[in-house]
Structure 1
Amino acid sequence: MVADGLRVLFCGINPGLMSAATGHHFARPGNRFWPVLHLSGFTPRLLRPAEQQELLSYGLGITNVVARATARADELTAEEYIEGGRLLAEKVTRLRPRWLAVVGVTAYRAAFADRTAKVGPQERTIGDTGIWVLPNPSGLNAHWTPATMAEEFRRLREAADGPG
């Protein structure tokens, strides 16, 4: 679900089995992406995964680093992450979003060979597109609460909404 010139292109790691079955990003019950997106002010109401197409009307899009569905992200290989990062960079170059938001610091580190990356804005860009690493909203990432995740998403929203 992408388009040219988005404010933010969100990028998950890869589809989980529920997302692969439904065709909707972050579809697993308990995944906090959609609630956090709303809490941070990106969407005026809580969207369900089946309503992901509405993101385009807010200047938002969504994609993945790796297309292959797995039960857990740790089933992906280093080669899949590297190839996914290469393909993602091509997509970003073509679509020119203002920000690429990679949801998961481990995925960003693996896809872009940046072992020291931390959550937040990155020095690296892809053309004129800034890169922001967000916490993974999976329920397995328990040390980030919905409130602390929403604060990081809000920081990105403010950057995306600002002059530029």
Structure 2
Amino acid sequence: MPVLPDVLAPGLKVVFVGTAASRRAAEVGAPYAGPGNRFWDILYAAGFTPRRLKATEFQTVTQYGLGLTGMAPNAVGNDDVLRPEDFDAAGLRAKIEQFQPRVVAFAGKRAAQEFLGHRIPAYGLQPESVGPTRIWVLPSTSGAARAFWDEAPWRALAAFVADD
């Protein structure tokens, strides 16, 4: 059973795909809820949302053309504790095919690598797609990934989907 619920609907601009719920997110029942996580801050700063949402407001993201899901929906923990069998690439592909968002954006390279089956050389738009859905890879917002933080790919994605 998934640790956190998906927030999906047809016709979304971007579905953000995390890796697995953090311990804090699992405790409170809301994605990206850790105190050091930058997800909700960057959504607002990059212009995806008109104000900074609280993690507990996660189910409202569809109002802004956004969705949320995870690559390891039944797991809890950082990337370094996840096993290959924790990832559900086939399940994510089925969700993408069903809902067909404009972009699926992986919030971290590990989730994207597990989905695509190869190393991700750079953040941003990837050459692969799932039907009409483009694939974008973003730096993780986790506090554990601060050394890799760069908001430029997040802002570039916001500009990409704003062209609708």
Common topology (TM > 0.5): yes
User: Are 1:137 and 2:137 counterparts?
Assistant: no
Q: Deviation string for 1:73-128 (max 9, x for gaps)?
A: 221111322xx111111100000000000110122112320224421100000000
Equivalent pair of 1:24/1:49 in contact (CA under 8 Å): yes
Partner of 1:94: 98
User: Are 1:20 and 2:26 counterparts?
Assistant: yes
Q: Is there any run of 5+ residues in structure 2 with no aligned partner, and where?
A: 1-6
Alignment of 1:6-155 (within 5 A): 6-81=12-87, 84-145=88-149, 148-149=150-151, 151-155=152-156
For 1:68, what is the secondary structure of its paired residue? Answer: coil
Letter in 2 for 1:135: P
Q: Deviation string for 1:32-88 (max 9, x for gaps)?
A: 11101111111111111011122111000111011123232221111322xx11111
Distance 1:22 1:88 in 2: 24
Q: Is there any run of 5+ residues in structure 1 with no aligned partner, and where?
A: none
- Aligned residue pairs: how many? 158
Distance 2:118 2:146 in 1: 23
Distance change >3 Å, CA 112–CA 79, structure 1 → 2: farther
Distance 2:75 2:84 in 1: 15
Letter in 2 for 1:96: Q
**Deviation (angstroms), 1:14:** 0.8
User: Are 1:5 and 2:5 counterparts?
Assistant: no
- After TM superposition, the score normalised by the length of structure 2 is 0.90
Distance change >3 Å, CA 20–CA 127, structure 1 → 2: same
**Deviation (angstroms), 1:141:** 1.3
Equivalent pair of 2:113/2:120 in contact (CA under 8 Å): yes
User: Structure 1 segments of 4 or more deviating over 4 A?
Assistant: none
Letter in 1 for 2:159: E
114-123 vs 126-135, greater mean Cα deviation: 114-123
128-137 vs 48-57, greater mean Cα deviation: 48-57
Equivalent pair of 2:13/2:103 in contact (CA under 8 Å): yes
